Chains A and B, each alone.
Chain A
Amino acid sequence: MSYDRAITVFSPDGHLFQVDYAQEAVKKGSTAVGVRGKNVVVLGVEKKIVAKLQEDRTVRKICSLDDNVFMAFAGLTADARIIVNRARVECQSHRLTVEDPATVEYITRYISSIKQRYTQSNGRRPFGISSLIVGFDFDGTPHLYQTDPSGTYHAWKANAIGRSAKTVREFLEKNYKEDMESDTDTIKLAIRALLEVVQSGGKNIELAIMKRDESMKMLAQEEIEEYVTAIETEKQKKT
């Protein structure tokens, strides 16, 4: 059997079809949005509707990688688990060899190089996830990076991945303000962006925030509802 042959090969016009197909898999995943404010970074995901008998809290799409970095993903959950595990180990390895916490850029670069390796390996397929990685470096600068199945990464001020990513990104482009001082504004922007595409409002949103020098905090359902109500009131006032 030809398991020694690469699965990702170039097409005659220069495409890596397996990578393109992986990106299609990402587009099927539930939406995730990330916003980088001045003093807070926010990640929000669309919660998948669970079956009646399924326990709600076992499916977590936002994972912390270290005290200063966390990420959300869109695409194949099982693939994401592998990436998250490797990234968590690498964060600790970095702390051990360099005696300093990893910067957000370092861990993003590490994740991207894993993904790239799988586009150039024997018998393996690319990872079917895009991820949004946010956090603060130990000098206090906030960062938001996006990686995709090809292994490239870019820094963003605000971005969305997964289903309806395009719509959400357009919304963010219209409504993002430079240097949002207020934490509440940053959080509200993320929620408003998700509300554009998520059905039935706040119940289907999962949100995590991180303020500088603090650890990641998952917002409770009630807190999200508070923000949603505030947003609705503002909307009413405008119309």
Chain B
Amino acid sequence: MNEVQNYGPERKIEFLHGTTTLAFKFQHGVIVAVDSRATAGAYIASQTVKKVIEINPYLLGTMAGGAADCSFWERLLARQCRVYELRNKERISVAAASKLLANMVYQYKGMGLSMGTMVCGWDKTGPGLYYVDSEGNRVCGDLFAVGSGSMYAYGIVDSGLKQKDLTVEEACDLGRRAIYQATYRDAYSGGQVNLYHVHSEGWNRVSQSDVLMLHQQYQAEKA
């Protein structure tokens, strides 16, 4: 088994894999919920990282993996989307936007990019959600959770999404709950839960809740 040296020019770069980001489609659009902790080994580097990138008023991208990789490529994607809009006089579809991103990073496959992002938006075919990563994967889906805390988040969302026809309020609560549970059990996730809702007119930032406050709130509800 090849050993990766953790010093010298060949050393592995430390990444933001410690994270929980999730997004799911529902009747009234897409909910995007993320945590805000950045870790470097066992050290918490920041509790206030913005892991949702606002590509344009109707497209969002989430950040997992290398922060620089994610924000750089998604900003480049924003530029491409704007050029598309100007040339074709209509908004770019979520499928096309995610395809552009996937094709951009595919050229760097194997060169050490680390990016696991969800492209979320609303276009003329309705709500759109794609998972794109630096390995070259691009998958369409109704629900994705990415990062070290993703398993805990899946547990909550999978059980919560069983009921059909969630209201916006219920869907937001579900997303918030899922991230909270992930931060509860995963050491590498924490800070605040940033929640966004994408609907036909675009996205809006629903809330930013500190997980410690959420903890108190949920404990009180249990009692």
Contacts and interface: CB of A to CB of B under 8 A. Distances in A.
Contact of B99 (A98, A103, A106): A98
B103 A97 contact: yes
A97 B98 CA distance: 10
Contacts of A100: 93, 95-96
Nearest to A99: B95
Interface string B91-110: 01101100110010000000
B6 interface: no
B100 A97 contact: yes
Which bucket holds chain A's interface residue count?
under 10
Interface residues of B, number: 8
Contacts of A98: 92-93, 95-96, 99
Interface in A60-112: 97-100, 103, 106
A112 B2 CA distance: 54
B88 interface: yes
A103 B100 CA distance: 19
Contacts of A106: 88
Contacts of A97: 96, 99-100, 103
B103 A99 contact: no
B95 to A, nearest CB: 4
A29 to B, nearest CB: 31
Nearest to B100: A97
B99 A99 contact: yes
B88 A99 contact: no
Nearest to A96: B99
A158 B88 CA distance: 24
Contacts of B99: 97-99
Contacts of B93: 98-100
A153 to B, nearest CB: 14
Interface string B54-94: 00000000000000000000000000000000001000110
B87 to A, nearest CB: 8
Interface string B162-185: 000000000000000000000000
Contacts of B95: 98-100
A64 to B, nearest CB: 22
Nearest to B94: A99
A206 B93 CA distance: 38
Contacts of B92: 98
A100 B97 CA distance: 12
A106 B88 CA distance: 7
Nearest to A103: B88
Contacts of B100: 97
A6 B8 CA distance: 54
A47 to B, nearest CB: 36
A106 B103 CA distance: 21
Interface string A106-147: 100000000000000000000000000000000000000000
B121 to A, nearest CB: 14
A99 B103 CA distance: 13
Nearest to A106: B88
Nearest to B95: A99
A100 B96 CA distance: 8
A99 B95 CA distance: 7
A98 B96 CA distance: 4
A106 B87 CA distance: 9
Interface of A: 97-100, 103, 106
18 contacts: A97-B96, A97-B99, A97-B100, A97-B103, A98-B92, A98-B93, A98-B95, A98-B96, A98-B99, A99-B93, A99-B95, A99-B96, A99-B99, A100-B93, A100-B95, A100-B96, A103-B88, A106-B88
Given A98-B92, A98-B95, A100-B96, 12 more contacts: A97-B96, A97-B99, A97-B100, A97-B103, A98-B93, A99-B93, A99-B95, A99-B96, A99-B99, A100-B95, A103-B88, A106-B88
